[in-house]
Each structure stands twice: as structure tokens, then as C-alpha cells.
Structure 1
Amino acid sequence: MKKRVTLTFPRRTVQMPVTYRLAKDFNIAANIIRAQVAPNQVGKLVLELLGDIDAIEAALEWVRAQEIGVSLASREIVIDEDSCVDCGLCTGVCPTQALTLEPHTFHLTFKRSRCVVCEQCLSACPVQAISINF
């Protein structure tokens, strides 16, 4: 099973090797989607967890016990096709190629299954045709 989560680290736990512990202690693969971590600052880590559902739940319990905030990512990117001008600027920042331009028509295509909701496309869109649905 896959589950996407956002971890918020207090300053005192930002040095903790969380992804290592998830792999070693819970047999969970943790794909880091986005990381904003710096010494002596609050950190954020967006992870896609892959493993047995019970192991993921046990791992998230352990993370919460370490006083690390856990929120389930239930957001998705939405493209307003009426506002989109198919400029392609969002395709240049999309790390998973969820956003592409059709080679013959130059029409923007969005493959939701490839999107990891990294949010890089939001600021790249000059007409704000891309938003997040919670």
C-alpha cells in the first residue's frame, strides 16, 4: 500500500534519521517527495510510504511518539483548462513529468497518476490556472 504523508519536525528532532528508521525498523520504503530541513529550524518532509498497511500504521504511531507532526496528504493538483494558455512553463518544473505538452498540438496534458503534489507548478503558472484541491 502507498500512503503520502507530511511530517513536521520540531527543532529538537530535525536531526533524527526518520527515513532510515522507517526502513530498518518497519520495512517501509520512504520516497522523499519534498524536504525543507535545516539545523535548528522547524522541518517539513513530504514522503510517499510504501509497505504493508499495518507496518505503515505502526510506523506512523512511532513517528507521532517522537513528537513529529503527521498529516496525511489528501491534496491533488487541479488544472483550470479555461484559464490555462498551454504555455508549458509548468512542464519545466514538474519532476515526475505529470505535466507535459503534446508534441503535435502543444496542448497541456496532466497525468494525475504521476503527480506527487510537490506544488512546484503552482508558482510556475503565470495565469494561476493551477491550484490545489484539499
Structure 2
Amino acid sequence: MTCFTIKSAPTVVWPVKKRVTLTFPRRAVPVPVTYRLAKDFNVAANIIRAQVAPNQIGKLVVELAGDIDQLDAAIDWMISQNIDVSSSNREILIDEDSCVHCGLCTGICPTQALTLDPKSFLLNFTRSRCIVCEQCVPTCPVQAISTNF
């Protein structure tokens, strides 16, 4: 008679992602926030847009990824450091009536959320791929691309 030991598969915890805007008071700008998020909370911070300078109010748009409890703890810590944390509900808007389908925005889009259909040469926008980096906004020659922010 043979005995088998059945091992259960390891539990896979999929990270939760949240896109937030961080606004730093002048005295908090030198704090290494992304380092502290990774080291102390095991939260990855993908910086989408940064506007930070010494002795000025700073802004970061970041996508945070990690366990939901760790994310909540990290956000609580940032708030305790007087960093304003707000959910980012921004999105890119395309005025299809104004768009001339020139394709300039497709060359600047880092995630290929903007592509040209190879057959029709019409602009396609895949919202789920968009990280709202806004690089396409100033690139559009006819101002057909904007944000809702």
C-alpha cells in the first residue's frame, strides 16, 4: 500500500492597484516616500507623473500595488506625514469629431493605449491600457485630446 501526501497549492495573493495623487507640503518633499512604501509596507509605487522641487509643494501621480491591508497602512502612514492622498479618477478624453487621425499621439503613448488601425488608419483608444500620463495631450495638433481633470 502506497501513501501519498497531498500538498495544497500555495495561496496566490494578487496585488491590488490604486492610482492616487500625492500632494506634499514643502517640508515633506525631502522624505523618501517611495522608498518607505517599498521597504516598510511592501507596496510598489509606479510613478506616472512627478512635479517635485525643493522648497515647493510637490505632486506625484502614482499607481500603488500591494496587499490591500498593506496599501491601507501605507496610505494611513502618508496621511500621518501630512501628505494629501486623493484618488485619481482622471481619464483621457478624445473628441472624435475633432480628431484627424494623424497618429502623432500613438508615437508618444508609452503603453500603446493609442494605436492606429492598420487597415482603416483610424485612431483606437484602449482605455484600460491608459495610465493618464498626459503625454498625448500637448502632442495633438488639433487639441482633440484632453483630460477630465
Matched position secondary structure for 1:24: helix
State the one-letter code of the partner of 1:13: A
CA RMSD of aligned residues (A): 1.4
Q: TM-score, normalised by structure 2?
A: 0.83
Q: Distance in 2 between matches of 1:99 and 1:15?
A: 35
1:49 aligns with 2:64: yes
TM superposition shift of 1:107: 1.3
TM superposition shift of 1:102: 2.2
Q: Distance in 1 between matches of 2:121 and 2:30?
A: 45
Aligned to 2:28: 13
Aligned to 2:53: 38
TM superposition shift of 1:50: 0.7
State the one-letter code of the partner of 1:105: S
Q: Distance in 1 between matches of 2:127 and 2:38?
A: 27
1:70 aligns with 2:85: yes
Q: Distance in 2 between matches of 1:73 and 1:93?
A: 22
Q: Distance in 2 between matches of 1:109 and 1:5?
A: 26
Pick aligned residue for 1:89 from 90, 101, 104: 104
Larger Rg: 2
Q: Distance in 2 between matches of 1:94 and 1:14?
A: 29
Matched position secondary structure for 1:75: coil
Aligned-pair identity (%): 74
TM superposition shift of 1:24: 1.1
State the one-letter code of the partner of 1:50: A
Q: Distance in 1 between matches of 2:61 and 2:91?
A: 14
State the one-letter code of the partner of 2:83: I
Q: Which runs of 5+ in 1 are unaligned?
A: none
Q: TM-score, normalised by structure 1?
A: 0.92
Q: Distance in 1 between matches of 2:127 and 2:28?
A: 33
